[in-house]
Amino acid sequence: MAAQAHGVFNCAMNADTALAEPKRQPVTESYTQPEHPGALHGEVWLTLQTRQAHQLIHGREPSSTKPAIIGLVGFANRLRVIWQAARSDDPYADWWLIQIHQAIEAAETFLAERQATLTDQLEQMTAMDARVANSCHPFRVQLQFANPYAYRAARLLARYDALICTALTACHIGLLDQESRRETQYACARKLRALFMIPQAYRFLKLDRATVHSQTGRTHEARQAMGELPDDILSGEQQPPLAPRKIKFPSPMSGPMKLRPTSPSKPERHIDENEDQ
């Protein structure tokens, strides 16, 4: 009986102790609401199915028998210099961006017409359902460009890749002969190579509109190297549809500033506009 009473007493004591102890609050991390959203980060990947399109990423180095072929990397690398010059109000850079824009538009139209012709031929088959061939191991590469025209060129390369897949499929099932397939491939590749060559003719000479208007600095050299600047571009009446925000630097700073494309190491399957060919 005493042992039973002792057990009841202990239980009562434990209950009183539990009631007397304050409840412990859960440990939580302090969180401070940011004043504004942080920087945006994203990824852009290009997937190619054909070796014909893959060859136009880096192009070809010149040799004793063959000239160089500028690829997407060389195009984006030189375009970076033009984009920065346009930011500094170089009217020649604006002119080159307009030419690049027009060349991209023309190439897109050309590829779309060729693609539509081949697609119609495949769809007109009544008894056969042919699916366009794709690679069992497509090439996937990450893109890191700082201006929209480089991404538009990459998208154009992807359209060329899809066109080659369609042409090879049509040739495989007998809708297209080998000569017609090669003509389609080479004609479209020439459009891309011509586009990639446009930035190579630009010369960075540290000019702005005021300098060109007054015909001082290296204006004469620019005219000799790049031609006579159209009046509507010099006046600013005609601007590239996609252009950087203009930044005017104070004159003491503008002298020592230089725009030079850098050449960091090239990671595997990664395209940066700063890469050299």
Q: How many Å apart are CA 225 and CA 232, to the nearest integer?
A: 20
Q: List, for residues 109-155, the tens digit of each pLDDT value.
A: 999 999 999 999 999 988 888 899 999 999 999 999 989 999 999 99
Q: Which two tokens stand for residue 236?
A: 């600013």
Q: How many Å apart are CA 97 and CA 147, to the nearest integer?
A: 11
Q: Which two tokens stand for residue 39?
A: 């920087």
One-letter amino acid identity for 110? F
Looking at residue 193, its pLDDT comes to 97
pTM above 0.85, yes or no: no
Run of H or E including 48 = strand 44-48
β-strands 270-272, 44-48 pairing: unpaired
Q: Which two tokens stand for residue 126?
A: 């009544």
- Quick one: CA torsion of 195, 201, 203, 208, rounded to 10 degrees? -60
Q: How many Å apart are CA 142 and CA 272, to the nearest integer?
A: 8
Give the closest residue to 194 by CA, choosing from 92, 276, 275, 75: 75
Write the DSSP symbol of residue 31. -
According to DSSP, the residues that pair with 140 across neighbouring strands are 47
Task: Please determine, for residue 258, whether its predicted confidence score (pLDDT) is greater than 80.
Answer: no
Looking at residue 254, its pLDDT comes to 42
Q: Where are the domains of the chain?
A: 45-272
The packing angle between helices 91-123 and 178-197, to 10°, is 160
Looking at residue 248, its pLDDT comes to 65
